[in-house]
Amino acid sequence: MTVVLDTNVWVSALHFKVLEGTPAHVLTKLFLEDKLAICPEIEAEIVRVLTRRFGRDQSQVVSLLSDFLSGAVWVEISGNVRACRDPQDDMVLECAQRAGADLIVTGDKDLLVLGSFEGIRIVTPAEYLAMPR
Distance (Å, whole) CA 27 – CA 44: 18
113-124 pLDDT, tens digit each = 999 999 999 999
59-85 pLDDT, tens digit each = 999 998 998 899 999 999 998 888 888
Helix axes 7-15, 40-48, angle to 10 degrees: 40
Q: What is the model's pLDDT at position 14?
A: 86
Q: Which long-range contacts (CB under 8 A, 24 or more apart) does 86-95 make?
A: 86/110, 89/6, 91/39, 91/41, 91/42, 91/45, 92/4, 92/6, 92/7, 92/42, 93/117, 93/120, 94/39, 95/4, 95/37, 95/38, 95/39, 95/41, 95/42
Q: What percent of the chain has pLDDT over 70?
A: 97
CA 50 to chain centre: 14
Distance (Å, whole) CA 26 – CA 32: 10
What average pLDDT does the chain have? 92
Q: What is the model's pLDDT at position 79?
A: 85
Distance (Å, whole) CA 10 – CA 3: 13
**Structural domains in the chain plus CATH codes:** 2-130 (3.40.50.1010)
Q: What is the mean pLDDT of residues 41-65?
A: 93
